[in-house]
Structure 1
Amino acid sequence: MSSPSEVAFITYINNVSAQINQYLSIFIFLFGTVGNILNILVLSQRSFRSNSCATLFLGSSIANFIAIITGLTTRMLSGWAVDLTNTNRVLCKLRAFVLNVARPVALWLILLAGIDRWLLSSPNIRYRQMSSLKNAQRSIIITLILSILLFSHIIYCYEPNLINAPLKCYGVTITCRLATDLSLMFMTIFFPLLFMLIFGLMTINNVRYSRNRTRPGDISMITMQGPPSTSRTTEQQQRNKIDDQLLMMLLVQVLLLFIFALPLGVQKLYSTITTNRVSSQAQVAIDNFAYNFVLLLNFIANGMPFYIYTLVGGNVFRKELQKMFATARQKICRL
């Protein structure tokens, strides 16, 4: 039987967890939904439509938006209204399935954007040709299908009204929880982040190689051959500028994903290791608090891309954003 001090501690931890869930969720929901909507609008502009990396960023932003809407709406409203996903079987399964499909899609598309930048920076022309809008669109479709297949077990596994679980709508058996946790841990977090790091370093190496390969003699040879067409040069410079700024946006985003997404993977690893451990009520309360906190950190990762792109995306992204606002202002003034 728990002592009065332990009961008070458990009550305190549960209250703190509930407050963080309720109020931090509101903040993440607001900055995440606004940011992703603006991201979708900017990346849909004409200057980005033919860019394969920007297309992958656009797909990732849509997946992030869906993840935030499905994951945070019920948490945000939990203190003021009844969460039907905790009690209704259909809503429980539907929400869990959509959320767990959207999460890996958002992260895998960032990984694919990293692979696209590596291909584009490669000295091998065959690799550079693989970086195309058509391949990016195919990758988005394949990623969505694989994510649906990977988390299809959730439709069978998840049930509402659970008591001894981190969430009331959760995997009903240990096997179901292990399947979901291992899929999330390795396929959604650890492996994508690892490959992001690998391809990011390889891309930086390719960029350094290409810069070192350009020598004064090469420039003089180009000069002797005569000046290139002005319009073609300007267009190529614009493309190179967009490519460089997209690479910077990608590298910063990968760094922040390590900070905000990796803790959830670590928590899932800990949860898997301690599955068969007999825990006290105080330990269960602490584990649930840790799970809810790192889960919210993961939602921050879903909401931050727009702010990364605005700060480190250079003039290209900010100019498109300003142009979009100016166009919207003109249309409003005409009404």
Structure 2
Amino acid sequence: MTIFVLGTIGGLINISVLTTLKLFRSNQCAFYLIMESTVNTLQLFVLFIIYLLPITIGIDPANTSLAWCRIKNFLTQTLRLLSTSMVCFAALDQFLSTNPQHIIRQMSSLRLAHRLTIVAIFLWIAHDIPYAILYLIVPPSGCIITNIDLIRYYSFFYYPVLHGLLPILVSSSFALLAYRNVRNLVRRQVAVERRRLDRQLTAMIFIRVIFYVLLLIPYTIYRIYSLNVTFTQANLDPYV
């Protein structure tokens, strides 16, 4: 409950600040941060409902309703991947917008941000449809995946790579490159206001990526370790 309340308040504050301040309204990096906060807030609501229902009605509906079994897993995974994408996109955008080469800076635009977000939404929805459809209620285990090929995919690619090493490398690499670019802004003929904005956004992204990586690394290590020690369907439960 505490995590839900604090997380929701924090997400709403982020959205409010980034949407009301004129400085951030038309900034593509701020757009990514708004999208990430929105997705994270939705994810908290979904997880809150998932954990609240068994307490309220005394039974986990995911073990009795096939529709809810599939919907809850589809929503949580899609939102998680969208949130990860926004972090990576924000780091990429800061690298582009602070790059000393004009042709690379031009690649950073609000139009690109909108397109990347739309692509990510449709991509992860398409990616997670089989994940949702192939969930079945199997007594006494409950809501689990029974397709062996899908189990192997999520065991050896999704958790270690797609939701582990890949976003860690992408976000941290671009955040470090953006930080390097900002340190060299003094040498370039850049307006003071633009320089200040770039520094603020880069600092925000850099700190966000640090926390993201620090929180994701233990989770990734745990997944890789657990999959090498024991290979069971229980390891694929995203809420364990």
State the TM-score, normalized to the length of structure 2. 0.86
Measured after TM superposition, the shift of residue 36 of structure 1 is: 1.6
Match of 2:180 in 1: 205
Equivalent position to 1:250, from 186, 205, 218: 205
Contact 2:176–2:206 (8 Å) recurs in 1 = no
1:57 aligns with 2:33: yes
1:169 aligns with 2:143: yes
Matches within 5 A, 1:234-313: 236-276=191-231, 295=239
Could you tell me how far apart the structure 2 residues matched to 1:267 and 1:175 are? 22
* 1:69-125 deviation line (CA, Å, top 9, x unaligned): 222322244334332123210011011111111101111111111010001111110
Match of 2:73 in 1: 96
Equivalent residue of 2:178, what SS? helix
Query: RCO greater where, 1 or 2, for CA within 8 Å and sep 6 or more?
Result: 1
The aligned amino acid for 1:61 is S
Contact 1:162–1:170 (8 Å) recurs in 2 = no
* 1:205-241 deviation line (CA, Å, top 9, x unaligned): 2223333x35xxx8xxxxxxxxxxxxxx9xx544433
Match of 1:108 in 2: 85
* 1:177-197 deviation line (CA, Å, top 9, x unaligned): 332343243112320111111
Match of 1:185 in 2: 160
Could you tell me how far apart the structure 2 residues matched to 1:153 and 1:275 are? 24
1:36 aligns with 2:11: yes
Equivalent residue of 2:106, what SS? helix
Contact 2:81–2:124 (8 Å) recurs in 1 = yes
Match of 1:17 in 2: none
Summarize the Cα distance change of 1:33–1:202 in structure 2 as closer, same or farther, 3 Å threshold: same
Summarize the Cα distance change of 1:148–1:171 in structure 2 as closer, same or farther, 3 Å threshold: same
Could you tell me how far apart the structure 2 residues matched to 1:150 and 1:56 are? 21
Structure 2 unmatched ranges of 5 or more: none
Could you tell me how far apart the structure 2 residues matched to 1:103 and 1:34 are? 19
Could you tell me how far apart the structure 1 residues matched to 2:39 and 2:70 are? 18
Contact 1:66–1:99 (8 Å) recurs in 2 = no
Match of 2:43 in 1: 67
The aligned amino acid for 2:20 is Q
Equivalent residue of 1:170, what SS? strand
Match of 1:121 in 2: 98
The aligned amino acid for 1:54 is A
- Report the count of equivalent residues: 237
The aligned amino acid for 2:220 is G
Equivalent position to 1:147, from 121, 124, 127: 124
1:194 aligns with 2:169: yes
Equivalent position to 2:115, from 116, 129, 138: 138
Equivalent residue of 2:100, what SS? coil
CA RMSD, Structure 1 to Structure 2 (Å): 2.7
Summarize the Cα distance change of 1:97–1:27 in structure 2 as closer, same or farther, 3 Å threshold: same
The aligned amino acid for 1:138 is R
Contact 1:178–1:272 (8 Å) recurs in 2 = no
Could you tell me how far apart the structure 2 residues matched to 1:147 and 1:107 are? 11
Equivalent residue of 1:169, what SS? strand
Contact 1:56–1:136 (8 Å) recurs in 2 = yes
* 1:21-48 deviation line (CA, Å, top 9, x unaligned): xxxxx22211112222222232222522
Contact 2:159–2:224 (8 Å) recurs in 1 = no
Equivalent residue of 1:50, what SS? coil
Match of 1:224 in 2: none
Match of 1:281 in 2: none
Contact 1:121–1:206 (8 Å) recurs in 2 = yes
Determine what percentage of the aligned residue pairs are the same residue.
26
